[in-house]
Structure 1
Amino acid sequence: MNEPTCPPPVAVPRTPRTVLPPGACDAHCHIFGPTSTFPYAPERTFTPPEAPRERLEELHRLLGLERAVIVQSACHGTDHSALLDALERGAGRYRGVAIVTSSTPPAEVRRLHEAGVRGARLHFTPHLGSAPSEEEIRAVVGLVRPYGWHIALHVQGTGIADHEALVRSIPLPVVIDHMARVDLRDGLESPAVHALRRLLESGRVWVKVSGADRLALSPPPMDDSAALARLLVADAPERTVWGTDFPHPNTHGFMPDDGDLTDLLPEIAPGTEGLRRLLVDNPVRCFGFAPVPPVPSAPPE
């Protein structure tokens, strides 16, 4: 029952060359288990290797990340015990994205908010189960709207174009995971990419320029997916964030080194100010972290 159905992350990631700014945030990562304390949901559709909070903290120290948004995984279902434990131990360094359904009690949403959760994730990816109905989406929006949460949208292929009208109808900020997991075989002029860029123009939609490894057509080179990320950052520099997606669940065929993903950042958001905006300032606004004071300029010699 607990035999993993997907591979583990790289055991010893390399130290990146890129030095991240103080307060840098990993805006999309997961924790799995340990199952002896935080068991997986019986109805899950996949079983990842364990990747507990301590493993995530170790990676963040290596990469130079000081904050994180921990996204509840479908393998834990609506039991947020592992996420809540991490939020408490993070002492303000973490925010969370939960899985909320129409049957989630309002008191549970309040508890999650007080712990540091700031978003609810909706899956439109077949490998994670059935997509929510419009009625279900309205119910989730109603539950989280009093707290000002965002709706995190997980789509793939043509999904962002298929659901463009739905995204526009949601009366809350929407954060699109992993650049909508568009199919880059269709190029940067595809209907899905155009839909994603139109939504960014709306002013209410954010995009996580994470998942470069998932979108790249011939990894390990990720030039094609980095080009898409750079395009999106240029379109909406104030509404893009980045994450590792550690420990890369349901990855098959190519497992990225998180040091390599980190070293893509200067290509995605060039310049000191671009990097700070993507990794520090935008996560503050999107997820409600405490502001990070700017680094004082060196006095003239």
Structure 2
Amino acid sequence: MAETEKPAAGMPPDPRAPETKAPAGACDAHVHLVAAAGEYPLWDGRAEDPAPGPDLDGWLAIYRNHLETLGFSRGLIVHSILYGTDNSVTVEAVRRMGADFRGVGLLRDGATEAQMDTFTDQNMVALRLNYVHGGVLTWAGAKAMAPALADRGLHIQMLAHADRHLEEIAEDVRHLPVDVVFDHIGWPADGMIPESDGFRTLCNLLADGKAWVKLSALYRMCPAPYDRADALVAALVAANPERCLWGSDWPHLMLADAEMPVAAELLNAFHRVVSDRATRERILVQNPANLFGF
């Protein structure tokens, strides 16, 4: 492989119906959209290339089938670092999907008022911060931008390891004027331990209404049927079901050592833990409507 070549992601499997479909109005609150090679500029520092496949319209057709098969009619499209700070593929995907879809994009430290205005006009509801790997936005930069984000109704979506990072940033989170959403059940790095100090800190932030969490990407932490994560998901929902969201993390980019999941099995795992119909509807329908403005 030449130095300039990147390994390619795999295509997601064809969607399969879950044991129980999502209720009417449900939102898959974490997916990414990619496009054909050359259609949108990729970031030079990316870890991989998107899977060889169709153009954006083709990917959107696959995405619509994913949503319909699982029972979702709304979605949050999260910009992938594969495209760096050029949000155009995500902005266009949101535009083509229509009124029941929103986006999360990337902004650099020190983004201007005009850039944030454009961001808002493009139906972006949040900017993403990677506290694990670093990136174009730092925690200090996000805190500095928070008042301007609040003025525009934007929030921060954050990838962090709860068991390594939450204790050090919890007080900042409590005092920010914007909502903070933590991806992937807080993505514990040192084992699936709900009693860890950092994970308890995340639960406390939820309980106090100071943060949100996505019950997503269990496949990145444990193999199917993902029951090793049940205790963590249950603890987060018990802390505050009004601050939980669910996302498939489709089409499962940058797998590293994880196995390609079947999205239906991820939804089955959610339903296994959250058996109460009213709580399911709260997490899948009402919470995303409140946070994303559907």
Q: CA deviation at 1:57?
A: 1.8
Equivalent residues in 2 for 1:171-190, closer than 5 Å: 171-183=177-189, 185=191, 187-190=193-196
Would the alpha carbon gap of residues 129 and 50 (structure 1) be closer, same or farther in structure 2, given more than 3 Å must change? farther
Aligned partners of 2:153, 2:248: CA distance in 1, in Å? 25
**Partner SS state of residue 51, structure 2:** coil
Contact 1:6 1:249 in 2 (8 A): no
Question: 1:15-72 deviations in whole A, cap 9, x for unaligned?
Answer: 2121211111000110122332212122334433257333222211221111100111
Matched, 1:283 2:285: no
Q: In structure 2, which of residues 32, 41, 59 is the aligned counterpart of residue 30 of structure 1? A: 32
Counterpart among 232, 237, 240 of residue 244 in structure 2: 240
* Structure 1 range deviating more: 16-25 or 43-52: 43-52
Aligned residues: 285
Give the aligned partner of residue 167 of structure 2: 161
- 4+ runs of 1 displaced by more than 6 Å? none
Within-5 A mapping of 1:50-199: 52-126=59-133, 129=135, 132-134=138-140, 136-156=141-161, 157-183=163-189, 185=191, 187-199=193-205
Q: Distance in 2 between matches of 1:169 and 1:273?
A: 31
Residues 213-264 of structure 1 show CA distances to partners (whole Å, capped at 9, x for unaligned) of: 1222xx1231121321122112111110000001112212311111111112
Query: Partner letter of residue 200 of structure 2?
Result: H
Q: Is the 8 A contact 2:166 2:201 kept in 1?
A: yes
Give the equivalent residue in structure 2 for 1:207.
213
CA distance in 2, matches of 1:28, 1:104: 24
Deviation at 1:85, TM superposition (A): 0.9
Q: Which residue of 1 aligns with 2:258?
A: 253
Indicate the percent of aligned positions where both proteins have the same amino acid: 29
- The residue that corresponds to 2:51 in the other structure is 49
CA distance in 2, matches of 1:238, 1:111: 30
Q: Deviations over 1:139-197 (max 9, x none)?
A: 33244221121111111251223322332242211111111101362521111211111
Query: What SS does the aligned partner of 1:163 have?
Result: helix
The 10-residue stretch of structure 1 (222-231 or 161-170) with the greater mean CA deviation from structure 2: 161-170
Tell me which amino acid in the other structure corresponds to 1:267: R
What SS class does the counterpart of residue 242 from structure 2 fall into? coil
| AA of the residue aligned to 1:54 | A
Residue type at the aligned position of 1:85: E
Contact 1:97 1:117 in 2 (8 A): yes
Q: d(CA) in 2 for partners of 1:145 and 1:188?
A: 31
* Superposition CA RMSD, Å: 2.2
Runs of 5+ consecutive residues of structure 2 not aligned to the other structure: 54-58
- 3-state DSSP of counterpart to 2:287: helix
TM-score (norm 2): 0.88
